[in-house]
């Protein structure tokens, strides 16, 4: 994948699959069982295709109605909304007229809310290069990158709406990672702190302080990847000096944050999804890594369980469970279900076959297979309808082309 993202831990969004073989790390705080065995049922994905003119697509998020958002590409990068058919989501009016008008913007939809009025959020970005010849290099040029968090909240998503830009701190770029189910809070990066949330209906920005996660000077940047209906956000912060990434949970309503515990044998982590509060706790899906590089083998999916009343409390260590059959985990439901992608071994030719997985406490791992003509699958997000239907979205590799997919589990 060629997705633009900030300089944060992004193993999952680059589609890197860890190689199985490492022993399951033990962990204080309740972790390490890896689930209740392997599920025996498999579900076949539905290929969503791409927007007209494009050949590839990725599904980034799904809501409890089974509606999907993501990106479609091949003739540029375009945001889409799927409700049984593909619909484009356009860039903002500001970008449509911002010079130079001959340099295209890339647009992606990263998140979708539930409810009767569905709202989507994402980002638009481009790099503008201008000639700056020198005596030694007449073809020299200077380039500047621009990125803005955006929201589609004006009218039906099926009617190809234009986006509006969200506010940024001066001199920064921005990114959206998630939106809560209620469609009232958007999470991402828009300042110089650990991330940001924008609260509707006017989308006022509030930064998540870096100081919530350690002594002054410990971390120098971060990003929020998801937020729930109660304003609990998750993401990661970057340590000063070595840029190592650490997963966090933050209470953006009442203040306070906690760096999530790291199992033994791992040195980096990232949190990508958070459930709504149920019984005073939330479930968080993410990844832990045993090496300091941005891409490395033997990464594992993880589910943290957090008591929301203790967020920011000194010495608090949330419980966790390493999902040792997953290379990463990116979706968490209110029931504690996790959507992730299998920790696969390469074959004799070095090819790694990826398989999307659903993990349920009472069942274990359930494979989510590609359509009949496909070979691989990955998962990105999960939602559960009021009738108990589970929706998981991601991508499938059909005839050598990766396209968005949805799995429906009743």
Does 210 reside within a domain?
Answer: yes
Does 213 reside within a domain?
Answer: yes
How does DSSP classify residue 383? E
Query: Going by C-beta distance under 8 Å and a sequence separation of 6 or more, which residues neighbour residue 169?
Result: 190, 191, 192, 205, 207
pLDDT (0 to 100) of residue 41: 58
Does 23 reside within a domain?
Answer: no
pLDDT (0 to 100) of residue 297: 76
Neighbours of 178 (CB within 10 A): 28
Token pair for 154: 């004006």
Nearest to 306 by CA among 259, 263, 268, 340: 259
Does 30 reside within a domain?
Answer: no
Does 4 reside within a domain?
Answer: no
pLDDT (0 to 100) of residue 24: 21
How does DSSP classify residue 125? E
Does 290 reside within a domain?
Answer: yes
Query: Going by C-beta distance under 8 Å and a sequence separation of 6 or more, which residues neighbour residue 296?
Result: 11, 18, 289, 290
- Per the confidence metrics, is the pTM higher than 0.85? yes
The rounded distance, in Å, linking the Cα atoms of 27 and 183 is 36
> In b/e form, how buried is each residue of 316-334, taking b as 16+ CB within 10 angstroms?
eebbbbbbbbbbbbbbbbb
Does 39 reside within a domain?
Answer: no
Does 241 reside within a domain?
Answer: yes
The rounded distance, in Å, linking the Cα atoms of 303 and 306 is 10
φ and ψ at residue 213, rounded to 5 degrees: -115, 15
The rounded distance, in Å, linking the Cα atoms of 352 and 346 is 4
User: Could you tell me the CATH number of the domain that includes residue 274?
Assistant: 2.120.10
The answer to whether 48 and 68 are in contact (CB under 8 A) is: yes
User: In degrees to the nearest 10, what's the CA dihedral of 118, 122, 124, 127?
Assistant: -170
- Write the burial class of residue 116 (CB in 10 Å: 0-12 exposed, 13-18 middle, 19+ buried): exposed
For residue 321, give the 3-state DSSP assignment.
strand
Q: Which residue has the tokens 């000063």?
A: 240
Nearest to 219 by CA among 272, 257, 253: 257
Q: Per-10-residue mean pLDDT for the chain, 410 residues long?
A: 33 26 24 38 88 96 98 96 97 93 95 93 96 86 95 95 94 95 97 95 96 88 97 97 95 97 96 97 97 82 98 96 96 98 77 90 92 89 97 91 94
Express each pLDDT in 33-51 by its tens digit: 333 344 445 899 999 999 9
How does DSSP classify residue 376? E
Q: Which residue has the tokens 């900030």?
A: 6
Count the domains in the chain.
Answer: 1
Query: Going by C-beta distance under 8 Å and a sequence separation of 6 or more, which residues neighbour residue 170?
Result: none
pLDDT (0 to 100) of residue 5: 38
For residue 207, give the 3-state DSSP assignment.
strand
Express each pLDDT in 12-30 by its tens digit: 332 222 212 222 222 222 2
Pairing of strands 141-152, 120-131: antiparallel
Domain residues for the domain of 234 are 67-353
pLDDT (0 to 100) of residue 87: 97
The rounded distance, in Å, linking the Cα atoms of 235 and 123 is 17
The rounded distance, in Å, linking the Cα atoms of 300 and 323 is 7
């Amino acid at each position: 994948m060629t997705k633009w993202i900030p300089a944060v831990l992004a193993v999952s969004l680059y589609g890197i699959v860890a190689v199985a073989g490492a022993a399951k790390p033990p962990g204080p705080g309740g972790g390490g069982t890896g689930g209740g065995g392997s599920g025996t049922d498999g579900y076949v994905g539905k290929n969503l295709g791409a927007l007209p003119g494009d050949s590839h697509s990725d599904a980034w998020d799904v809501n409890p109605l089974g509606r999907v958002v993501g990106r479609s590409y091949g003739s540029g990068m375009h945001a889409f909304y799927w409700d049984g058919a593909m619909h484009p989501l356009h860039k903002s009016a500001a970008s449509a007229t911002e010079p130079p008008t001959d340099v295209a913007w890339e647009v992606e939809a990263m998140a979708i809310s539930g409810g009767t009025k569905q709202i989507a959020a994402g980002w638009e970005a481009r790099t503008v290069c201008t000639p700056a010849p020198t005596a030694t290099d007449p073809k020299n040029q200077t380039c500047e990158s621009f990125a803005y968090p955006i929201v589609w909240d004006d009218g039906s998503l099926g009617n190809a709406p234009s986006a509006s830009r969200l506010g940024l701190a001066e001199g920064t770029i921005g990114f959206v990672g998630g939106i809560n189910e209620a469609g009232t809070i958007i999470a991402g990066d828009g300042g110089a702190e650990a991330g940001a949330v924008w609260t509707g209906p006017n989308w006022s920005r509030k930064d998540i302080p870096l100081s919530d996660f350690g002594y002054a000077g410990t971390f120098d940047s971060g990003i929020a990847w998801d937020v729930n209906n109660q304003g609990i956000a998750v993401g990661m912060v970057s340590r000063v000096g070595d840029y190592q990434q650490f997963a966090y949970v933050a209470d953006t309503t009442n203040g306070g944050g906690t760096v999530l515990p790291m199992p033994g044998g791992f040195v980096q982590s990232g949190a990508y999804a958070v459930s709504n509060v149920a019984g005073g706790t939330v479930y968080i899906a993410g990844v832990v890594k045993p090496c300091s590089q941005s891409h490395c083998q033997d990464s594992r999916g993880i589910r943290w369980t957090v008591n929301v009343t203790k967020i920011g409390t000194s010495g608090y260590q949330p419980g966790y469970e390493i999902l040792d059959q997953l290379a990463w985990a990116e979706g968490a439901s209110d029931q504690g279900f996790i959507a992730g992608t299998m920790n696969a071994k390469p074959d004799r030719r070095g090819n790694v076959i990826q398989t999307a997985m659903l993990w349920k406490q009472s069942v274990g791992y359930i494979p989510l297979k590609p359509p009949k003509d496909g070979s691989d699958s990955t998962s990105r997000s999960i939602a559960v309808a009021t009738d108990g239907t589970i929706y998981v979205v991601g991508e499938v590799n059909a005839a050598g082309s990766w396209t968005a997919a949805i799995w429906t589990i009743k």
